[in-house]
Structure 1
Amino acid sequence: MSVQKVLEQIKENNIQFVDFRFVGLSGGAHHITLPSTEVDADTFVNGVAFDGSSIPGFRGIEESDMVMMPDTETAYVDPFTSHPTLNIMCNIHTPDGQRYDRDPRSIAQRAEEYLQTTGVGTTAFFAPESEFFIFDDVRYESSMNTSFFSVDSEEAAWNTGRKEEGGNLAFKIPVKGGYVPVAPVDSQQDIRSEMVRVMQESGLRIERHHHEVATAGQAEINFRFDTLTKTADNLLKYKYIVQNVARQWGKVATFMPKPLFGDNGSGMHVHSSIFNGDTPLFYDNKEYANLSKLAMSYIGGILYHAPALIAITNPSTNSFKRLVPGYEAPVNLVFSKGNRSAAVRIPIAAVTPKGCRIEFRTPDSTANPYLAFAAMLLAGLDGIKKGLDPIALGYGPFDKNIYDLPEEEKKEIRSVPGTLDEALDALEADSGFLTEGGVFSQDFIDNYVALKRQEAKAVSIRVHPHEYSLYFDC
């Protein structure tokens, strides 16, 4: 969309405000709003100034001036504001006009540019399945003398005996019993459908929605795949709509990987493939699971670099509360067709040559999608460049339930790091694949690791409520 068309859209839709947005290192969106009367063609040339020192991990106060440069292709009308507002995603530039190397969106774009220089293909497609919970009540506190969290849901398994509902209507979802039941067990059909309606009106192509496995309102809505940066843009839009529709319905949505103990967590299974023009490069019907040798090397790269990759695709301490065996968590660094206990699954149901893809099941939605998708692509490209063979490297295929294997066999299978600190250690030891083509800078990686170390320490030094259960009577 040209600048002129955006200006015409502002006039034709009586837009009163234009919301300029960018993404921080954590993956959260930030914004500055201008009255539409202050937006003209020069705005898209000169950008919108902001204070980079107030964004964690961006700039020091002595060099705080930064500029948002709008990407007109991302414009859409905000579905929630009282005053007609147009939202536009931006790239971050320094005052001298250079792309900022810590800008996650610019990193995603550099990854796409790097792909084209490799000669492997022209386009990488991504499709995340970002799961979430819809709760009715959320309370938490962490202070010197208090530490707790409490969540509630009208459909939660623990509410079968609750009286406060004014007559308990039963049909609660058991632990691990929430996968695609119909109403009245699935009480959230209408709110998910409303989320889908708003997403469609905002430009997302939605493929389906359903209740997920866990009790207490776990959900999934799938939107159509697209190129790397566009998919990351779409995921931010998706999360924005999910959380704001939930708010309108008097509920709250969270993408936190493990908000509940003892039931499945929320992942972000990421499907990806590479095309050369219109030609899919991952398909070969004469090979295992219809995967080409190039695709197998791509898998080899992801699994080989997975310990470091997980520092970016699972970048929270809570991520590792989900990555434990027994809850469909893909902790095993192997690949398989149709096997959800493997870190890399190859979908085989109703797959066409153009739909042939791999699914990396380990990530979760605490990841910054621009960084996660870029890092995945770079790991896969490194596997292609080096001709890594995942079978020769011992990554499978494992076409059986890995959780049921004898302990001796399980010992032969590599697992994901057990903590965020372990993943960060792996990233520090194996970051060369990320700096190929100048996609990630070493400065970015060092800064990222330092910020995540602070998060890990903030959790590790705090007293945990369960420690009272274990040790108070010592």
Structure 2
Amino acid sequence: MSGYHPDLLAPYQRLDQGTCIQAEYIWIGGNNELRSKSKTITEKVTDLSQLPNWDFDGSSTDQAPGHDSDVYLHPVAIYKDPFRGGDNIIVLASTYNSDGTPNKTNYRHNAQKTMELAKDSVPWFGLEQEYTLLDTDDKPLGWPKGGFPGPQGPYYCGAGAGKVVARDLVEAHYRACLYSGIRISGINAEVMPSQWEFQVGPCEGISMGDELWVARYLLVRVAEQWGVKVSFHPKPLQGDWNGAGCHTNYSTKQMREPGGIQAIHEAIEKLSKRHEQHIAVYGEDNDKRLTGRHETGHIHDFRSGVADRGASIRVPRHVNAKGYGYLEDRRPASNADPYRVTDIVVETTLLDK
């Protein structure tokens, strides 16, 4: 064979011997969507320092112009790959331009700086990710063709045929997250049929955004195997149907200690003064969801309350009774970037911006 050199076969020989791995690099595209591609690594990876930076065509993802299209992937976190198993890994990467500056869609960069400034307060987050499953016609999965199911009521945390849709898919995602090391804390069927929720956390600081993005990736990959689409749109169906949010549970070290309810009230007061700035980064089309109906507050109003699911900020009843714990920001949409959400929450409550 012309040009043959035995060293060219070395990676494949090592792969047969189990010393090569596959690394799936994933990143956030220019329209808040997930992208990925695979790379063969010739040794088992136990640390980020072993992983090379990579690049991709940013002109194909709305992240760079065609005349300067290289965008670079900098690995930031490693997870076990539930699809390939073994020592194969998923690599979460941040996007950077050729001059070394963060790409315009790289919201992790600033969030990480914010978390570093606030690290002494030990900010914890738990995000409740709602989503809707769609068929190939972009209709809610399992709904009658050309019609509608019965009114909302029996579907939330439902059990049994006619009440839940695609539990096998949802369970597969749950197990994929557990295998990968994602701190997924639960799942449940939601109020609208074919809508589900999973919860990730508690996670400290920047790890919250990392883990939620990887959990989203695992979800769309699992659904891909069923030929099912995943929608993160905050109002996938108009009418008397619940929308989809990404409720954000938040606490600091001070809030979690006895007497922390005072710190919670102080944080709520600060949040009330930057309502518009928060709404601006809490997801696209959120106005279609935050109508004051279907367990939401109105997008133009801010209010808080104990156990009030129509409030902007809810203090759980058990937190109010104990006098310490956490608050729940119910405003973020299901398609919100968790880096932007956690970033501005910490900025507002801890850095006094």
Q: Given the two structures, how large is their TM-score scaled by the length of structure 1? A: 0.62
Cα deviation 1:222-257 (Å, max 9, x = unaligned): 222102321111111211222222232343221111
C-alpha separation in 2, matches of 1:268 and 1:156: 27
Shift of 1:159: 5.0
Q: Which amino acid in structure 1 is aligned with residue 127 of structure 2?
A: P
Q: Which amino acid in structure 1 is aligned with residue 188 of structure 2?
A: H
CA distance 1:46–1:335, shift in 2 (3 Å): same
Specify the alignment match of 1:342 in structure 2. Answer: 311
Q: Which amino acid in structure 1 is aligned with residue 315 of structure 2?
A: I
Select the residue among 25, 36, 43 that pairs with 2:41. 36
Specify the alignment match of 2:270 in structure 1. Answer: 301
Cα deviation 1:2-56 (Å, max 9, x = unaligned): xxxxxxxx99965542222332454323334322249999985762233445543
Q: Tell me the SS of whatever aligns to 2:192.
A: coil
C-alpha separation in 2, matches of 1:22 and 1:365: 18
Specify the alignment match of 1:191 in structure 2. Answer: 169
Specify the alignment match of 2:4 in structure 1. Answer: none
Shift of 1:104: 1.5
C-alpha separation in 1, matches of 2:225 and 2:151: 27
CA distance 1:98–1:322, shift in 2 (3 Å): closer
C-alpha separation in 1, matches of 2:249 and 2:86: 37
Is this contact kept in 1: 2:19–2:43, CA < 8 A? no
Structure-to-structure mapping, 1:188-337, within 5 angstroms = 188-215=166-193, 217-262=194-239, 263-275=241-253, 280-285=254-259, 291-292=261-262, 294-314=263-283, 316=284, 318-331=285-298, 332-337=301-306
Q: Which amino acid in structure 2 is aligned with residue 220 of structure 1?
A: E
CA distance 1:265–1:114, shift in 2 (3 Å): same
Q: Tell me the SS of whatever aligns to 2:91.
A: strand
Cα deviation 1:264-312 (Å, max 9, x = unaligned): 011110111122xxxx435554xxxx612x3222212222111121111
Structure 2 residues without counterparts, runs of 5 or longer: 1-14
Select the residue among 381, 392, 400 that pairs with 2:350. 381
Is this contact kept in 2: 1:267–1:363, CA < 8 A? yes
CA distance 1:233–1:353, shift in 2 (3 Å): farther
Q: Tell me the SS of whatever aligns to 1:356.
A: coil
Is this contact kept in 1: 2:258–2:323, CA < 8 A? no
C-alpha separation in 1, matches of 2:33 and 2:146: 32
CA distance 1:123–1:61, shift in 2 (3 Å): farther
Is this contact kept in 1: 2:130–2:232, CA < 8 A? yes
Shift of 1:356: 0.9
Tell which deviates more after alignment, 79-88 or 34-43. 34-43
Structure 1 residues without counterparts, runs of 5 or longer: 1-9, 140-150, 161-171, 386-432, 434-474
Cα deviation 1:140-199 (Å, max 9, x = unaligned): xxxxxxxxxxx1432569757xxxxxxxxxxx5533542122212234433322221111
Select the residue among 76, 79, 86 that pairs with 1:76. 79
CA distance 1:246–1:45, shift in 2 (3 Å): closer
Is this contact kept in 2: 1:176–1:264, CA < 8 A? no
% identical aligned pairs: 22
Is this contact kept in 1: 2:141–2:165, CA < 8 A? no
CA root-mean-square deviation: 3.4
C-alpha separation in 2, matches of 1:46 and 1:207: 32
2:17 corresponds to 1:50: no
Specify the alignment match of 1:112 in structure 2. Answer: 115
Cα deviation 1:368-425 (Å, max 9, x = unaligned): 211221122212235xx4xxxxxxxxxxxxxxxxxxxxxxxxxxxxxxxxxxxxxxxx
CA distance 1:36–1:81, shift in 2 (3 Å): same
Is this contact kept in 1: 2:29–2:105, CA < 8 A? no
Specify the alignment match of 2:5 in structure 1. Answer: none
Count matched residues: 334
C-alpha separation in 1, matches of 2:31 and 2:288: 19
* Structure label with greater radius of gyration: 1
CA distance 1:87–1:13, shift in 2 (3 Å): farther
Is this contact kept in 2: 1:258–1:322, CA < 8 A? yes
Q: Given the two structures, how large is their TM-score scaled by the length of structure 2? A: 0.81
C-alpha separation in 1, matches of 2:96 and 2:203: 25
C-alpha separation in 2, matches of 1:127 and 1:174: 30
